[in-house]
């Protein structure tokens, strides 16, 4: 997909939403265009992944933008094909305007579809104000009347007679008539699709501050974690717990083969005492992952949801590691290993934010890496895996690359989970492009699905 085509489609989406009252700021649009130039998306899906997180402000907008991008892309392609229809260019433009002015208008729109959608937006916005709820059921009829679509049948008859008088043979007249009918059929379909998408936009605009609707778990897997509501977070917590339990099972399958042969009946009943059903199996012995794991987790404001879900995960799988150390940081480093090992996931993140004095300060990666190398080098060996969870944004302070390079030489490998996609590593105060030089595996983790993929990297030997 060419950069110019990507920018053109994104511009159409921006104009479409703006014309119907959905607040997408010029700054967000400019950032989206900048990202297109930086990343040069290969296809339509890559374009959506690059720009929708920038233009969307919440989960509903995120879903809606996917639909609008798909709609306008399909519509643009159809309009391009429509403009290439043979035969129309042979009609005298003056004759067409005199005998069939409505048809002439639609044929002009075939070459300039943006004018068609702009006119539809003007009509729709005006009628939404006047008719309100009627637009949901009668929007198509109201717009088709405003566009005078009902006049085109009579105009076709008049145009045919005018072409006959101009010396056209019957076969050519029938061919041109068929082309015009295709144009009109396409306009009707485009109008119907516009109504459906416009009603979603205006419905969202009217409910920007309303209570968020319920969503299924499947939908949550592809929504950026930073867009989640409080209700979504509760649902995600249960998903994370199941994910963690599957992770533990995967560890034991790899080590024992058939997992059920190591279940301890006594331990199982003890773990589930007081519950109506058995929900967690107990194992007689736990062989742990050999490589010690040290975690450095950014818990600043922009990382709060990511930190919350990772801590929920690590609190469940902590027993699968032979040795585990967990640190959180913003401007300074704090060892929370004891909390991770003693508190359940539901309480862990709340305790961390309550106990950590600098949780709301500015991130300082350089100071964090300096503290770790000065006070905690004894916690790592050549077998240690170092996992860093953070967006790599340093607030324009020293990035600590010298200390990170030192750590890379002392540990088995360095893994990094970041919510920022690669195009943003070169913007603002991000140092991810620098940090990527010292990591063995770097995962972009924006959604629950991407988090699951990244966590599987901890299973590698």
At residue 424, the pLDDT reads 77
Q: Quote the pLDDT of residue 178.
A: 82
Last residue of a domain, one of 206, 233, 267: 206
User: What are the start-end ranges of the H helices in 364-425?
Assistant: 365-375, 401-410
Instruction: State which of 173, 206, 239 marks the end of a domain.
Output: 206
pLDDT given at position 372: 95
Same domain membership, residue 165 and residue 312: no
Residues 316 and 180 in one domain: no
Contact at 8 Å (CB) between 364 and 333? no
Is residue 39 included in any domain, yes or no? yes
In a domain, 64, yes or no: yes
Give the pLDDT score at 418.
92
192 and 295 together in one domain: no
Judgement on whether residues 55 and 191 belong to the same structural domain of the protein: yes
Quick check: is 396 in a domain?
A: yes
The answer to whether residues 183 and 299 belong to one domain is no
Q: What is the mean pLDDT of each run of 10 residues along the chain (461 residues)?
A: 82 78 73 84 88 80 82 68 57 81 80 76 75 64 82 86 85 82 79 76 52 52 76 80 78 52 56 56 59 91 84 85 90 89 76 69 90 92 93 91 94 93 79 92 88 82 54
CATH number at residue 360: 3.40.50.410
Q: Output the pTM of the full model.
A: 0.54
Same domain, 46 and 178: yes
| Residues 181, 326 within the same domain | no
What pairing do the DSSP bridges indicate for beta strands 333-335 and 324-329? antiparallel
- pLDDT of 78: 61
Pairwise CA distance, residues 372 & 328, whole Å: 11
Phi, psi of 421 (to 5 degrees): -70, 165
Tokens standing for 264? Answer: 């301890």
Residue 254 lies in a domain: no
Based on the domain organization, do 333 and 434 belong to the same domain? yes
186 and 301 assigned to the same domain: no
Q: Is residue 338 part of a domain?
A: yes
- What's the Cα-to-Cα distance from 260 to each of 112, 253, 268, 321, rounded to whole Å? 66, 9, 12, 20
Q: Which helix (H) or strand (E) holds 416?
A: strand 413-418
Answer yes or no: is 145 within a domain.
yes
One domain for residues 133 and 33: yes
> Among residues 165, 183, 206, which one ends one of the domains?
206
> What is the per-residue DSSP string for 151-187?
GHHHHHHHHHHHHHHTT--HHHHHHHHHHHHHHHHHH
Continuous segment of H or E residues that includes residue 442: strand 441-444
State whether 198 and 303 are in the same domain: no
| Domain encompassing residue 419 | 289-459
Our count of domains for the chain comes to 2
Do 35 and 180 belong to one domain?
Answer: yes
In a domain, 283, yes or no: no
């Amino acid at each position: 997909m060419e950069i110019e085509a990507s920018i053109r489609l994104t511009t159409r989406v921006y104009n479409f939403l703006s014309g119907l009252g959905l607040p997408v700021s010029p700054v967000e649009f400019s950032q989206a265009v900048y990202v297109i130039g930086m990343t040069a998306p290969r296809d339509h899906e890559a374009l959506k992944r690059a720009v929708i997180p920038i233009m969307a402000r919440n989960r509903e907008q995120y879903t809606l933008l996917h639909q609008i991008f798909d709609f306008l892309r399909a519509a643009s392609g159809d309009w391009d094909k429509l403009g290439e229809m043979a035969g129309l260019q042979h009609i005298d433009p003056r004759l067409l305007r005199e005998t069939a002015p409505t048809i002439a208008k639609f044929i002009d729109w075939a070459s300039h579809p943006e004018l068609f959608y702009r006119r539809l937006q003007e009509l729709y916005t005006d009628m939404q104000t006047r008719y309100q709820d009627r637009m949901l059921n009668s929007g198509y009829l109201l717009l088709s009347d405003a566009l005078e679509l009902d006049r085109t049948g009579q105009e076709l008859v008049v145009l045919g007679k005018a072409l006959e008088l101009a010396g056209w043979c019957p076969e050519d007249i029938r061919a041109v008539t068929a082309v015009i009918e295709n144009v009109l059929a396409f306009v009707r379909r485009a109008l119907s699709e516009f109504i459906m998408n416009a009603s979603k936009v205006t419905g969202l605009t009217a409910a920007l501050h309303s209570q968020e609707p319920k969503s299924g778990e499947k939908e949550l897997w592809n929504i950026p974690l930073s867009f989640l509501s409080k209700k979504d977070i509760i649902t995600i917590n249960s998903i994370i717990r199941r994910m963690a339990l599957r992770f533990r099972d995967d560890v034991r399958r790899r080590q024992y083969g058939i997992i059920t042969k190591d279940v301890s009946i006594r331990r199982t009943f003890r773990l589930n005492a007081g519950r109506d059903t058995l929900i967690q199996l107990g194992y007689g012995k736990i062989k742990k992952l050999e490589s010690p794991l040290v975690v450095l987790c950014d818990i600043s404001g922009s990382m709060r949801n990511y930190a919350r879900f990772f801590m929920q995960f690590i609190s469940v799988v902590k027993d699968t590691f032979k040795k585990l150390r967990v640190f959180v940081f913003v401007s300074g480093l704090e060892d929370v290993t004891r909390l991770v090992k003693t508190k359940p996931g539901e309480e862990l993140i709340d305790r961390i934010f309550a106990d950590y004095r600098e949780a709301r300060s500015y991130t300082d990666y350089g100071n964090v890496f300096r503290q770790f190398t000065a006070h905690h080098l004894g916690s790592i060996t050549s077998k240690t895996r170092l996992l860093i969870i953070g967006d790599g944004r340093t607030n324009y302070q020293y990035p600590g690359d010298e200390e990170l390079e030192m750590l890379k030489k002392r540990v088995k490998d360095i893994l990094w989970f970041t919510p920022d996609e690669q195009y943003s590593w070169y913007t603002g105060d991000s140092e991810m492009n620098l940090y990527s030089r010292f990591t063995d595996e770097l995962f972009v983790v924006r959604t629950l699905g991407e988090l699951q993929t990244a966590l599987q990297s901890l299973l590698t030997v």
